[in-house]
């Protein structure tokens, strides 16, 4: 029988100290009746995966409600863009700070604060009667997600220290990311036909239940040793640098790459991040230890997460536009059209850990990339009168399988060498890369589509060109999988 140290620590009178290959954890278990370790860990996995689900879901749920928001509360075209953008900017920009707080303070507490902020933001969006309150709510959601997401992944990583068990848990995590993106469009379409406010209201009871369950069932961790000194200079330059970077990318996607505000923000990001790297190289307790980025697992996992998200978010943005504005689907029909994506993800997710265990991460990641290339081939030639069965069914199914193969593999690679001390920061780096990659991919494709439309092209032609440019991401993705990821894994000794 295999029992996790997290679940056996402090469950009875302490025996005489004995040497163990696993470092004694500092997590304090709740005084609840003893249950099997697998049940405890499975419950923790369910809770943190659900917390991540609502973060990802709200990044895409607004895609199909924009016309209704304009009609109901009179949002301008600029404010419509920021309904999505302000969430992405704050989510991605504050992620590194959220990850560091996770490593310094109790992970459960950071998760709880993130849930409170996210739920409060959802409530503000629900009662919004104008752009000010709606955008404030979305901003609060983004800040909450920046704390919630790295804390949840950090808890998962430290709960499953064994490589094979961690790979399975992270596989579920990757599936949740992909399913959340497609489910956001599905729920957004279904709920918008009733009332767009329900799409935000549903987060309130879910957030309240999650908060209660996390405080009861997730052990409270504490930092090992004295709390490190605050890296104020690193926190300021790193956070402002990431905020400027994501804002500049998003602004470029909205206004074009020649926009003065976008260029200023990107230039500021370069300067701030350069100063940040300098500060971190000399800080006694750096916000981001640069040695972390020198780990091959973190470096390759981060780039892979960035590129995979750079494929996912533009696809989930342009496909609904094609369905609604070219094929004239209703919001509900758009949501229903994504059912094959979710079903494909759920159907394939169980096989991915087996593939990783047998062949290593390279094989499933490369296969997933090739399937995503198939999606781009189909959509870059999509006609203006396509049928569901002839085009959208194969596109949405291939999208689901391809994404789940990539998204389940990247966190396995990126967190392979994560420890108790740096799990939060590692998780934040991966999550921040996903947000930046998604924003970058969306900005590039949006610019291409807008450029084609301004040249007098039809929307069908413009969207085709937008999908075509994503082949750059596919090429990079394939190179990462083939040359950056490992092949067949080594046998893990001492399995029980």
**Domains of the chain, each with CATH number or no CATH:** 35-228+285-484 (1.20.1250.20)
pLDDT single digits (tens) 401-419: 998 899 889 988 888 887 7
Task: Provide the pLDDT for residue 1.
Answer: 37
Q: What is the per-residue pLDDT across 471-490, written as a single tens digit (0 to 9) for each?
A: 999 999 999 988 888 655 55
Position 476 scores a pLDDT of 92
Lowest model confidence (mean pLDDT) among 255-264, 372-381, 481-490? 481-490
> 415 is written with which tokens?
């967190």
pLDDT band at 38 (very low <50, low <70, confident <90, very high): low
Which residues on adjacent β-strands are paired with residue 31?
A: none
Structural tokens at position 17? 């100290």
Choose the weakest-confidence range: 147-156, 232-241, 382-391: 232-241
| Separation CA 407–CA 425 (nearest Å) | 19
Q: What is the mean pLDDT of residues 167-186?
A: 74
* Residue from 398, 309, 391 nearest 347 by CA: 398
Residues paired with 220 in a beta bridge: 28
Q: For the residues 434-455, what does the mean pLDDT come to? A: 83
pLDDT recorded at residue 474: 93
| pLDDT of amino acid 357 | 85
Which of the two residues, 70 and 63, has the higher pLDDT score? 70
Cα angle 244, 114, 413 (rounded to 5 degrees) comes to: 70
Q: Which of 356, 311, 319, 357 is nearest to 335 (CA)?
A: 319
Cβ neighbours for 270, distance < 8 A, ≥ 6 positions apart: none
- Would the pLDDT of 364 be above 50? yes
Task: Determine what percent of the chain is predicted with pLDDT higher than 70.
Answer: 84
Tell me which range, 297-301, 335-339, 448-452, is most confidently predicted by mean pLDDT. Answer: 297-301
Rounded to the nearest integer, the mean pLDDT of the chain is 81
Q: What is the model's pTM?
A: 0.73
Per-residue pLDDT at 238 exceeds 90: no
Mean pLDDT of all residues in 201-215: 92
Joined tokens for residue 463: 């969207």
**Residue-level pLDDT at 178:** 67
Angstrom distance (rounded) from CA 163 to CA 178: 22
Q: What is the pLDDT of residues 123-154, one digit of tens each?
A: 999 999 888 899 999 999 999 998 998 898 88
The model's confidence at residue 274, banded by pLDDT at 50, 70 and 90, is very high
Tokens of 331: 């919001």
Measured CA to CA, the distance from residue 258 to residue 254 in angstroms comes to: 11
- Rounded-to-integer distance, Cα 107 and Cα 219, Å: 9
pLDDT of amino acid 492: 40
Angstrom distances, CA of residue 364 to CA of 39, 70, 221, 436, 447:
29, 42, 34, 24, 31
Mean pLDDT of 12-23: 44
Q: Which of 212, 109, 195, 121 is nearest to 155 (CA)?
A: 109
Nearest-angstrom CA–CA distance, 151 and 99: 7
| CA–CA dist 134, 74 (Å, integer) | 11
- Say what the pLDDT of residue 424 is: 77
Q: How far apart are CA 128 and CA 136, in angstroms?
A: 9
- Compute φ and ψ for 416, nearest 5 degrees: -55, -40
Q: What is the pLDDT of residue 487?
A: 59
pLDDT, mean of residues 38-52: 83
pLDDT for position 37: 56
Average pLDDT on 337-356 reads 84
Give dist(CA 165, CA 171) in Å, integer. Answer: 10
15 — pLDDT class (breaks 50, 70, 90): very low
């Amino acid at each position: 029988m295999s029992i996790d140290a997290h679940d056996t620590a402090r469950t009875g009178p302490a025996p005489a100290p004995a040497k163990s290959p696993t470092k004694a954890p500092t997590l304090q278990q709740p005084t609840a009746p003893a249950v099997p370790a697998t049940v405890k860990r499975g419950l923790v996995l369910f809770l943190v995966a659900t917390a991540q689900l609502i973060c990802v879901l709200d990044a895409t749920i607004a895609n199909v409600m924009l016309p209704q928001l304009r009609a109901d509360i009179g949002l301008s075209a600029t404010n419509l863009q920021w309904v999505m953008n302000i969430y992405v900017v704050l989510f991605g920009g504050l992620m590194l700070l959220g990850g560091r707080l996770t490593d310094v303070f109790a992970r459960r507490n950071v998760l709880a604060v993130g849930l409170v902020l996210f739920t409060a933001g959802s409530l503000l969006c629900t009662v919004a009667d104008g752009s000010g309150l709606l955008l404030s709510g979305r901003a609060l959601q983004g800040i909450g997600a920046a704390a919630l997401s790295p804390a949840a992944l950090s808890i998962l990583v430290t709960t499953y220290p064994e490589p094979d068990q961690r790979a399975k848990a992270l596989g579920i995590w990757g599936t949740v990311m992909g399913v959340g993106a497609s489910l956001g469009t599905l729920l957004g379409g279904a709920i918008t036909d009733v009332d767009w406010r329900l799409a935000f209201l549903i987060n309130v009871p879910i957030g309240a239940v999650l908060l209660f369950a996390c405080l009861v069932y997730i052990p409270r961790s504490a930092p090992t040793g004295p709390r490190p000194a605050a890296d104020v200079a690193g926190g300021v330059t790193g956070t402002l640098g990431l905020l400027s970077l994501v804002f500049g990318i998003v602004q470029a996607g909205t206004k074009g790459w020649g926009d003065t505000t976008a260029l200023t923000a990107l230039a500021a990001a370069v300067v701030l991040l350069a100063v940040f790297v300098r500060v971190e190289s000399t800080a006694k307790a750096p916000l981001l230890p640069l040695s972390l980025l020198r780990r091959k697992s973190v470096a390759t996992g981060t780039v892979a997460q960035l590129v995979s998200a750079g494929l996912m978010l533009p696809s989930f943005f342009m496909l609904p536009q094609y369905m609604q504005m070219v094929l004239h689907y209703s919001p509900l029909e758009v949501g229903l059209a994504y059912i094959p994506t979710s079903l494909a993800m759920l159907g394939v997710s169980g096989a991915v850990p087996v593939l990783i265990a047998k062949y290593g991460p390279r094989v499933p990641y490369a296969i997933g990339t090739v399937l995503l290339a198939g999606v781009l081939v189909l959509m870059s030639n999509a006609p203006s009168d396509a049928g569901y069965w002839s085009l959208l069914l194969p596109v949405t199914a291939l999208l689901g399988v391809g994404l789940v193969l990539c998204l389940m593999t990247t966190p396995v690679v990126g967190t392979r060498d994560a420890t108790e001390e740096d799990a939060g920061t590692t998780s934040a780096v991966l999550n921040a890369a996903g947000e930046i990659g998604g924003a970058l991919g969306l900005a590039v494709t949006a610019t291409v589509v807008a450029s084609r439309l301004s040249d007098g092209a039809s929307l069908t032609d413009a969207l085709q060109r937008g999908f075509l440019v994503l082949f750059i991401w596919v090429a990079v993705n394939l190179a990462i999988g083939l040359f950056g990821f490992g092949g067949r894994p080594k046998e893990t000794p001492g399995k029980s």
